[in-house]
């Protein structure tokens, strides 16, 4: 029997890769290709818009750099929308799925997201959803002096001493591990 592709196996088992993705719905997604004055590609980006009925215009909700062709929204003919699924590095590599009612692709010599800041400042935008759990970064280790017998010793020196001690051989009685079986002496008659 030949090897079945992973995708087929996942579908047969009822698992889809986007089950645990952060899902956002937007009204419009734009795939923008930004070029400099000499016509060289500077970057590609996805810009997500929501319709504002008060202003009768689309306002930028959020944006992401397009780092892989896999991020480009794909037409979902069944639901008549566009879907983009990718690992969002901006949000600590969370799996993200964005569903849009419409899509457009543009080639510009200006950054549309920057222009849109005049209409809706970045701090007032409704961003894509945040992951439910974001691991906190550990603060960097600080080398603070520690007093020991009247001398100042840094934590680095203590760590190095602990490592040296851990690599030195220990006496047999103090070694961790299985204990040898006890020998039983026959009783004298």
Residue 81 inside a domain? The answer is yes
Return the pLDDT at 171. 56
Return the pLDDT at 90. 77
Residue 108 inside a domain? The answer is yes
Residue 13 inside a domain? The answer is no
> Which DSSP string corresponds to 31-84?
EEEEE-TTS-EEEEEEEEEEEETTTTEEEEEEEEE--SGGGS-EEETTTTEEEE
pLDDT tens by residue, 78-131: 999 999 998 887 777 788 899 999 999 999 999 999 999 999 898 999 888 887
- Domain residue limits at 46: 18-124
Cα R_g (the chain), whole angstroms: 30
Residue 117 inside a domain? The answer is yes
Residue 103 inside a domain? The answer is yes
Residues of the chain predicted below pLDDT 50: 1-18, 134-135, 143-144, 146, 148, 179
Residue 97 inside a domain? The answer is yes
Return the pLDDT at 57. 94
Return the pLDDT at 113. 94
Residue 107 inside a domain? The answer is yes
For the entire predicted model, the pTM comes to 0.60
Residue 135 inside a domain? The answer is no
Q: Residue 39 corresponds to which tokens in the numbers above?
A: 């016509």
Task: Report the domain count for the chain.
Answer: 1
């Amino acid at each position: 029997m030949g090897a079945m592709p992973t995708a087929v196996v996942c579908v047969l088992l009822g698992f889809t890769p986007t089950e645990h993705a952060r899902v956002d719905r937007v009204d419009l997604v734009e795939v923008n290709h930004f070029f400099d004055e000499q016509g060289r590609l500077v970057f590609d980006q996805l810009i997500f818009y929501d319709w504002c009925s008060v202003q009768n215009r689309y306002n930028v909700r959020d944006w992401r750099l397009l780092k892989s062709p896999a991020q480009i929204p794909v037409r979902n003919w069944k639901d008549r929308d566009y879907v983009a699924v990718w690992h969002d590095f901006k949000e600590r590599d969370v799996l993200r799925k964005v569903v849009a009612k419409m899509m457009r692709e543009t080639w510009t010599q200006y950054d549309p997201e920057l222009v849109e800041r005049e209409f809706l400042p970045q701090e007032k935008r409704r961003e894509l959803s945040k992951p439910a759990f974001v691991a906190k970064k550990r603060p960097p280790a600080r080398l603070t002096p520690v007093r020991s017998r009247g001398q100042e010793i840094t934590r680095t020196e203590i760590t190095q001493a602990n490592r040296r001690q851990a690599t030195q051989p220990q006496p047999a009685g103090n070694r961790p591990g299985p204990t040898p079986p006890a020998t039983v002496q026959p009783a004298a008659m």
